[in-house]
Amino acid sequence: MNFYKSWVEIIFFALLITGFIFSLANPSPGFSYGIIFVVGLLCGRLLYLQKGNLLFPYIFVSMGFVIGYLIGTSYSSWLTMIVLFLAGTYASYALHEQGMFATPKIRDGYR
């Protein structure tokens, strides 16, 4: 298997398993909501840093953790978790757009 050709699928599957294990280790709904919101914040930063590049692989990889986490959760509402993930992603992206967080400088096309 060539990692450079299928890195998206490999990382997606690894994050799917990781999200599933995280959700099984956490029985508290409140903590689950907090984790999924923080993951949304991290995904918003990732999307902001990749602005102008091909975004689909990063969205696909990000969804791996979220899908794994939703599969493993049993005490929390799936709809609430999806809304919190999307709210965290949007909030982080919007705050980065406004310059509220420091981002690496772009030099010669690289961050």
pLDDT band at 56 (very low <50, low <70, confident <90, very high): confident
pLDDT for residue 36: 94
59 within some domain: yes
Residue 34 has pLDDT above 90, yes or no: yes
Residue 109 has pLDDT above 80, yes or no: no
107 within some domain: no
Distances (CA, A) of 96 to 44, 47, 61, 72, 103: 8, 10, 21, 31, 8
pLDDT for residue 110: 52
8 within some domain: yes
Provide the domain count of the chain: 1
pLDDT band at 70 (very low <50, low <70, confident <90, very high): very high
C-alpha span between 45 and 58 (Å, rounded): 11
pTM attached to this predicted model: 0.84
64 within some domain: yes
44 within some domain: yes
Domain hosting residue 37, numbered range: 3-97
pLDDT band at 1 (very low <50, low <70, confident <90, very high): low
23 within some domain: yes
85 within some domain: yes
